[in-house]
Amino acid sequence: MVWRVERLESVGSTNTHLRAQAEAGAPEGRVVVADFQSAGRGRHDRVWEAPSRSSLLCSVLLRPTLEPDQRQWAVAAVALAARAALVRLCGLSVGLKWPNDLEVDDAKLAGVLAESSPDGAVVVGLGVNLTFEGPPQARATSVRAAAGVTLEPEALLDIVLEEIERRRPLLDDVEGRARLREEYRRALGTLGRRVRVEQPSTTFEGEARDLDDAGRLVVATESGEVAVAAGDVVHLRTVRAER
């Protein structure tokens, strides 16, 4: 894959910027990275603003063969790539929290946010806290705080793109997604834990048991298993150590 990287000092949102290019027909492999985002967004349009160059803030344009309900696999591929890049660069042990966070000891280190364009392209945004842990009330950490290492955004981006390239072919067929699912399951700290799922119309608790073929979180509740496609998941306590 040929990566075409656009570097910006400031942008509202790398996802919004790149999605406009995707809708105009930009090819797969386009990347936008910014020193600062004035309108960076997380899930449910939550605002997250970090000082310039204190985080890796980037978005990647992919055009995989995915059904609309399988976008979670693009999130998984980028999250796993970021996790592997951090291991390579500083040996940091990072777990994944369904659906889109990277954590160290239950503190958020990074987030991934995917958006689709009408033609099926997927724009995947990644924000990694390098030297900024967020406001005091945030349960967050940074690479510097967790590993004692200061990484430059460009250095981390280079390795993240290498790791995405390794996983990109897996998105295009059933066998590849099965392989990606197994890597995702091994890295997912949510599995085996009691969780609270918060959705706009309901909240419930149960044990996070597995992932289905679409990447939905399978939660065992008192009334049966529920496949969760979207929602905030809060880790409550460990139910089992093995999976």
Q: Are 62 and 171 in contact (CB under 8 A)?
A: yes
Any bridge partners for residue 96, and if so which?
A: 102, 188
In whole angstroms, give the CA distance from residue 85 to residue 127. 13
Residue 70, Cβ neighbours under 10 Å: how many? 17
* φ, ψ dihedrals at 37, nearest 5°: -115, 125
Tell me, what DSSP letter sits at residue 200?
T
- DSSP secondary structure string, 50-107? --TTSEEEEEEEE-----GGGTHHHHHHHHHHHHHHHHHHH----EEETTTEEEETTE
In whole angstroms, give the CA distance from residue 66 to residue 63. 8
Domains and CATH numbers, the chain: 4-187 (3.30.930.10), 193-238 (2.30.30.100)
Give the pLDDT of residue 40: 63
Residue 119, Cβ neighbours under 10 Å: how many? 9
Q: Are 112 and 125 in contact (CB under 8 A)?
A: yes
Give the pLDDT of residue 125: 97
Closest CA relative to residue 34, chosen from 51, 11, 54, 1: 11
Task: State the burial class of residue 5 (Cβ atoms within 10 Å of its Cβ: 0-12, 13-18, 19+).
Answer: middle
CA 37 to chain centre: 17
Give the pLDDT of residue 39: 75
In whole angstroms, give the CA distance from residue 170 to residue 181. 10
Give the pLDDT of residue 47: 61
In whole angstroms, give the CA distance from residue 47 to residue 60. 20
Give the pLDDT of residue 116: 92
Task: State the burial class of residue 129 (Cβ atoms within 10 Å of its Cβ: 0-12, 13-18, 19+).
Answer: buried
Distances (CA, A) of 197 to 108, 226, 236: 17, 10, 10
Q: What is the mean pLDDT of each run of 10 residues along the chain (243 residues)?
A: 96 96 97 90 59 96 93 96 97 94 95 92 97 82 96 97 98 96 96 95 96 96 95 78 48
